[in-house]
Each structure stands twice: as C-alpha cells, then as structure tokens.
Amino acid sequence: MTTLHADTDTRVVSLLRVLWRSFTAGFALTSADKVALAARALFFVVVTSVLASMWRVAVLVNNSGSVSGGGEPSVAGYTAVAIFWYIAAAEAALIPVPSNLIEQVAKPIADESVEVWFSRPVYAGLPTVLFRFGQILPVSLTCALTGSVLAVALAGPPPNLVALTLALPALCLAALLSIVMQYSFGGVAFWLGDISGMWLVYHRTVFILGGLIIPLETLPPWLEPVAGALPFMATVYVPGRLASGHVEPTLIVRQLFWLTVALGVVALVFRRGEERVCRRSL
C-alpha cells in the first residue's frame, strides 16, 4: 500500500515536472525571439489604437449616449477612458493567442501524425497546452504593458487601480482558457478530419459573444445574458471589464469555472479521439 502511494506520488511529481518544463521551455522560446515579440507588440498597438480610438470618438460624439455619474458622456456605462482600457485589455487577451491555433491542433490529427503523441511515456496533451501557454504568456505580458502605456498616453490613467490589478491574473487565465478551448475545438478533427475554416467561426464567435469589439453591455438585451452565460466571455470580456475600472472579482471565479470545464472537455475529446485512432489502427 505504502509502495503504491509512493509510486503515485512519484508519478504526480514527474508529471508536474514535465508540465513545468514544458511551460518554461515555451516561455524561454518566445522570450528569446525579441524581434517577433516586438512585431506582435507593434501589431497590438496598431489594432488597439484604431479600435479604441473609434470607440472613444463614438462615446464622445454619439447621439444616444448618456451622461455617467461623474458628468462624463458614456455608452452602456463606459466612459471614453474606460472603453479605451477595456479595448486594450481585451485585445491583450486575444492577440497573443495564435488566431489559427485550432487549425494547428487539427492538422496533426487530420494527417494522423498525432499517433506519435500516444506512443510517448507521458501523455503529450497537457504538456503541449502548457508549452503553448508558456509561449503565449510573454506576448500577453508585453501587450499588457504596452497597452497600459498606450491607454495612459492616449486616454488617461486607469479608472480603478484595484480593478486593474485584478485584470492581470484575469489576462493570464483568459490566455490559458483560450488555448484549452481551441484545443477542444481542434480535437473535433478526430471525427471530422478537415476542419479548416472552423477557426474563423470560433474567432468571430469570440468577437461577438466574447465582447472583443463591443462590450457585452452594448449587446441587445436578449443577447447579453446569453453571451454572459457562455465561456467566450471569460477569454476576452473579463480582463477588459476589470481593466475598465469595474471591481468584480467574481468574474475571475467564473474564469476558473470555465477553465475547469474546458480542461474536462479537452481531456474527454482527446481520450475519445485516441480510442478512435487506436480502433482504426487495429
């Protein structure tokens, strides 16, 4: 019995070590490529400037906007400064994650090279997810820093420092959740084979129901609760909402909930997919 426990402990420690090394390897790989990091940051700056500027103008000159408590014009409760911080954080959550990650996951499944994964002593699924997370985190942090500088320079100081502090872990969770969700969608290739084009559908869903371009509060009344109940909001809206000055720690709890669900789904999808591949190989 004691030996069994010791074996299990050793296996868990080994697994944790593999996961940690996968994460640090991904982190080191991206951090070393300074040019690519700068290019992504520049792209982030351009996209954020355009989108946030458009919203800012819309808030300041729109015909139907209300006046918030502080006397500033606002749309759906977002002032010109708040909407800039929202867009900066939302883009910082989205841009670092490769837009075609679903295709990248689906490709080895569709061409059956994924079978190599199944022959390894440690199941490669989770380490691969953490390697990706390690790759993406430096870009997320760079974008967060750049976005903060940009927002202060073009809009003004953060509306609430406590909320901004909460936005940082929310940003990391959003990136991790986004990766796990895209792995789940990519795993559909076990059954459908070629799923090219699905990444675009996923991304546009995030655009609308995740609150990337328009915060959930600006959606029509019938759609807002639907979007709020789906996991897409945890990948973009949550960091944006917190960075825009709303102290709502429960949003992070919702992210953790969706992360747990997504990890369960991805494990199930890949286990069933592995079984299917093994059956086919017999």
Do 44 and 92 meet the contact criterion of CB atoms below 8 Å apart? yes
Binding test (CB under 8 A) with another protein, winner from 28, 29, 57, 230:
57
Residues 19-48: x where in contact with another protein by CB under 8 A, - otherwise, as a string: ----------------xx--x--xx--xx-
Least distance to another protein from the beta carbon of 169, Å?
Answer: 28
Binding test (CB under 8 A) with another protein, winner from 41, 59, 130, 143:
59
Q: DSSP string spanning 9-44?
A: HHHHHHHHHHHHHHHHHHHHHHHH-HHHHHHHHHHH
Do 146 and 44 meet the contact criterion of CB atoms below 8 Å apart? yes
Biggest CA-to-CA distance, the chain: 73
Binding test (CB under 8 A) with another protein, winner from 15, 18, 196, 228:
196
Tokens 């954080």 correspond to: 89
268 binds another protein (CB under 8 A): no
How many Å apart are CA 2 and CA 12, to the nearest integer?
15
Least distance to another protein from the beta carbon of 95, Å?
Answer: 10
Q: Which is nearer to another protein, 3 or 63 (CB)?
A: 63
Binding test (CB under 8 A) with another protein, winner from 58, 149, 247, 256:
58
Which run of H or of E encompasses 78?
strand 78-79
Binding test (CB under 8 A) with another protein, winner from 188, 208, 261, 265:
208
Q: Which is nearer to another protein, 102 or 167 (CB)?
A: 102
How many Å apart are CA 130 and CA 113, to the nearest integer?
20
Helices (H) and strands (E) in the chain, counts: 13, 3
If we measure between CA atoms, which residue out of 253, 204, 260 comes closest to residue 232?
204
77 binds another protein (CB under 8 A): no
Tell me the number of residues near another protein by CB under 8 A.
38
Give the interface with another protein as residue ranges (CB under 8 A): 35-36, 39, 42-43, 46-47, 49-51, 53-54, 57-59, 61-65, 75-76, 194-198, 200-201, 204-205, 207-208, 213-214, 218-220
